Structure 1
Amino acid sequence: MPSVHIRYDNLKPAVKQVLFGRLRLESTRWASFKSWYQFSAFYCAPGEAGAHEKGGVEHEGGRFRRKHLVPPPQVDSLAELNERLAAIDVAEDARHIHGRPTSIGFDFEAERDRLRPLPDDDYDCGIDLTPTVARNSRITVRQGYYSVPAKFIGQKVRVKLRANELWVFDGRQVVARHPRLTRRYTYHDFLDHYLEILLVKPGAFAGASALAQARAEGGFTKVHEAFWAAAKQKAGDREGTRMLIEVLLLHRQLPAEALVKAMETCLRIGSVSTDLVAIEARKAMEGTDDDDAELLTGDGPADDAGGESAGQEAAGARVISLHARRLPPDPRTTLPDMSKYDRLLNLGTARETSQNQKGQGA
């Protein structure tokens, strides 16, 4: 950060009104930004009178635009655009300005010691808004539509709108993070925000716009598709879709990678169950699914009844047995003495015999 001041050309986000001379009526957010980083602004004179005060800034801005931004780059998000600009900025460090023997990066390193260190915490440049959640579980921010969890329908939520992201808060907890939309009347949905509604109305799941967006972004994988198809084949369209939604709800508690592995395991053994997916996901997190993989692929030790197992496999069935090491070891060194229990059994048998004899004699 420069230690004295930074020159500005009366940019609108900072200057609300140009007064006499160098005096400017600044915006509140801009004054707060300057106070945070502790620098002063030097405003150039408007028009041709202040053209010489800005040096070659406008020329360099035009050169950068013509070289790197013509034609306009095609990107899917602002984050991707920022990554491209950062890469261009790194490449620009090796460029030499006409008439200078050293590069831009070399000159910057020579001036680095004259700069003031930045504060430990970054300034929050976002703005706070409080939109109301509509019936479709979306909020409208700057003519863009963003989904929020369905439980907030009809309520006001606090939103932090930033240059690249939009955060939705419930108190101090972030309940949704969206990439900022750059086009009007577009929307961004998360499938997780609608699961409670779709669990009640599973018939609307296949045509949900949130599902289409999850497929496009890669959140709804081919494994999810295969599990959904298997569940519908087993329990019908309605109940099979409900089983899939219950699995998607598990994403809130378990990692996505573990759940995908769990669904793959369930499909491999031919058993579609939400409870089994949860069990297999936890086993994947604990790293105990490798032993099960050996069992399923037949690499584990052979069963004792080898001939019988081979016959069943030939007939199309398959017997899966547990490894002995999967069972907890027996802490007992010797078997317990059961003689006293045997005497009790013998005593009870003798009593029953005597009672039967008395009944026959009567």
Structure 2
Amino acid sequence: MTGCPITVQQKRLFMTLRIEGATPQQAAAKSGFSTATGYRLEQELYLPAIERPLRQRRRPDPLEAVWDAEVVPMLTAAPGLRAVAVLEELARRHPELHPGVRRTLERRIKLWRGLHGPDQEVMFRQTHPPGEQGLSDFTDLADLGVIVAGSVLDHILYHFRLANSGFEHGHVILGGESYSALAVGLQNALFALGGVPLQHRTDSLSAAFRNLDRDAIEDLTTRYATLCAHFNMTPTRNNTGVAHENGTIESSHGHTKKTIADALLLRGSRIFEDLTAYRRFIDEHFARHNARRSKAITIERATLRPLPDDRTIDYEETLVRVTSSSGFVLRKVFYTVPARMIGQRLRVRLYDDRLDCFLGGSRVLTLIRGRADHASGKHGHVIDYHHVIHALRRKPGALRNLSYRDQLFPRPAYARAYEALTERRSDKAACKITVELLGLAHDCACEAELARVLETELDAGRLPSIDLLRERFSPASASMPMVVIEAVSLGLYDELGTISRGDAA
């Protein structure tokens, strides 16, 4: 058999069969090697029972002069040094050293490390009883290139896994690692599972603590402990920087991302209409995974603790004041609100994907959560032109240098119209017409239809005419029906009160 050495037992069997009268072909076949090998064995001088002497070196050792004197001290001082780095250093010191010794050097270093190198870290494989441990972690999915609502989605995935049965659940997170992301993902996973494990294990949550002061870190730790107490779970963490202690979930990150990437290829498109559609796609992936492990999950589900009656809070709460800009700043993001709220203090519940704003005890507004650009340090903006259009109509010139002008336009067609107007009209006229276009979209609720008309006009090289557009989209005035009321003779009232004698009883 090619590549397999012939054992002493095979040699003995071959020679015994030959002595008993078998042909070389028969003896070789019964011994498990080729006929050519059988002929070679018959010509060898050494008997099968006698071991061959070790082959002696046939040429001088090219590393004899430098191995003990230079290579071993380098490996001792820096055990992680690569063989190619050692070879480059030897070539610098000894130009006469032939570069063909690389393979010999690599083999010699490998042998030295096996005999004299430092001890490596030992991984102790664990046995996880059913219902004992669930693990949470986050993994980056931005490399998938998923497009939602026309833009590339920069997101991560909250990943939950049961250590015993392999039940998995995932939730798309738009921001970074945070308490709200962990809380909403964990609660979704537990209610989808239908039970609670004894322990919940995470990493050190260092990303959630980043850029926080000591008081904020302690508050976050307290909230996490309260979350686990609500579900009657014991919180545990691995040592900082030792990712393999969470190997049960860390190892499945790569498989999960590859499987999602394959599913996107089979789908034929990475474009999703909205975030809800993409989250449904992720849920289907984990549902198929859990269906393959349904027997093990059913067994472990019987050992889980019962769920509490209700969910606990999965948001952060803070107070903000609405400034004269008709908005507030939260986490380096500026949000607009209706101008009537200027000067009010709002209580904001900060979720992973939205903000719920309360005035007193009443929820008055829900906003999409924005993200600041941490790489450039610039503030983010979440702008709703409906909030400021009435004030902007009174001051249209403010549009020219508005700090959030690009985010004010609800669709690319409006930004394109403004650029075309500034090229061919004065700044004052361009600002006034653009503001009127936004006002028309607000008054007539025709944002999408108006955007399509603007695209058509601009493609044809024409500037938008606000008068024609207002005539087209403004609701037609209803005509009042003509109501004719015939006058009644007042004498009829006298006749009603008069009783004819002929009618008397």
Query: 1 or 2 for the larger relative contact order (CA 8 Å, sep ≥6)?
Result: 2
From the CA coordinates, give the structure whose radius of gyration is larger. 2
- The two structures have a TM-score, normalised by structure 2, of 0.37
